[in-house]
Amino acid sequence: MTDDVITRAHRDEWARVVASLSRRFGSLDIAEEAAAEAFAIAVERWPTDGAPPNPGAWLTTTANRKAIDRIRRESKRDEKHREARLMVDDSAPHSAGVVDDDRLRLIFTCCHPALSMDARVALTLRMVGGLTVPEIARAFLVQDSAMGRRITRAKAKIADAGIPFRVPVTDDLPARISGVLAVLYLVFNEGYLASSPDSAPLRHELTAEAIRLTRLMRTLLPADGETTGLLALMLLTEARAPARISSEGELVTLDKQDRRLWDPVLIAEGHRLVRLRLASGVAPGRYQLLAAINAVHTSAGDVRATDWSQIVALYDHLAAVDPSPVVELNRAIAVAELDGASVGLAIVDRLESSLRDYHAFHATRADLLRRSGRVEEARAAYDAAMRLSGNSAQRAALARRRDRLD
Candidates 33-41, 158-166, 263-271, 350-358 — which segment interacts with other proteins by CB under 8 A? Answer: 158-166
Decide whether 114 or 343 has the Cβ nearer to other proteins: 114
Instruction: Kindly list the distances between the CA atom of residue 183 and the CA atoms of 190, 215, 235, in Å, as whole numbers in the listed order.
Output: 11, 14, 17
Q: Does 78 bind other proteins (CB under 8 A)?
A: no
Are 26 and 85 in contact by the 8 Å Cβ rule? The answer is yes
- 376 touches other proteins (CB under 8 A): no
148 near other proteins, rule: CB under 8 A: no
What is the C-alpha to C-alpha distance for residues 184 and 125, in angstroms, rounded to an integer? 9
The H or E element spanning position 165 is strand 164-165
Among 118, 135, 172, 383, binds other proteins (CB under 8 A): 172
Give the nearest distance from C-beta 179 to other proteins in angstroms: 13
> 102 or 328: whose CB is closer to other proteins?
102
Tell me if 278 contacts other proteins by CB under 8 A. no
Asked if 92 is part of the footprint of other proteins (rule: CB under 8 A), the reply reads: no
The region of 83-91, 127-135, 303-311, 381-389 touching other proteins under the rule CB under 8 A is: 83-91
| Calpha distance 119→24 (Å, rounded) | 23
User: Measured between alpha carbons, how far is 55 from 43 in angstroms, rounded to an integer?
Assistant: 12
Instruction: Report how far residue 23's alpha carbon sits from residue 72's, in angstroms, rounded to the nearest whole number.
Output: 18
Phi, psi of 87 (to 5 degrees): -80, 100
Minimum distance from residue 60 beta carbon to other proteins (Å):
26
Q: Which stretch binds other proteins (CB under 8 A): 80-88, 94-102, 139-147, 348-356?
A: 80-88
Scan residues 189-208 and list those touching other proteins (CB under 8 A): none
DSSP state of 127: I
If the CB atoms of residues 76 and 404 are measured against other proteins, the closer one turns out to be: 76
Binding other proteins (rule: CB under 8 A), the pick from 89, 100, 205, 352 is: 89
Q: 39, 154 in Cβ contact below 8 A?
A: no
Radius of gyration of the chain (CA): 24
> CB of residue 286 vs other proteins: minimum separation in angstroms?
24
How many Cα atoms occupy the beta-carbon half-sphere of 110 within 13 Å?
34
**Residue of 87, 223, 241, 326 interacting with other proteins (CB under 8 A):** 87
The total number of residues shown for the chain amounts to 406
Q: How far apart, in Å, do the first and last CA atoms of the chain sit?
A: 59
Q: What does the alpha-carbon distance between residue 366 and residue 329 come to, in Å, rounded to a whole number?
A: 13
CB atoms within 10 A of CB 256: 12
Q: Does residue 175 belong to the site contacting other proteins (CB under 8 A)?
A: no
Site for other proteins in 99-138 (CB under 8 A): 112, 114
The reply on whether position 161 binds other proteins by CB under 8 A is yes
Q: Is 179 in the site for other proteins (CB under 8 A)?
A: no
Residue 30: CB partners within 8 Å, gap ≥ 6? 21, 67, 70, 71, 83
Name the one range near other proteins by CB under 8 A: 58-66, 163-171, 185-193, 327-335. 163-171
**182: contact with other proteins by CB under 8 A:** no
Q: Residues in the site for other proteins, rule: CB under 8 A? A: 82, 84, 87, 89, 112, 114, 160-164, 168, 172
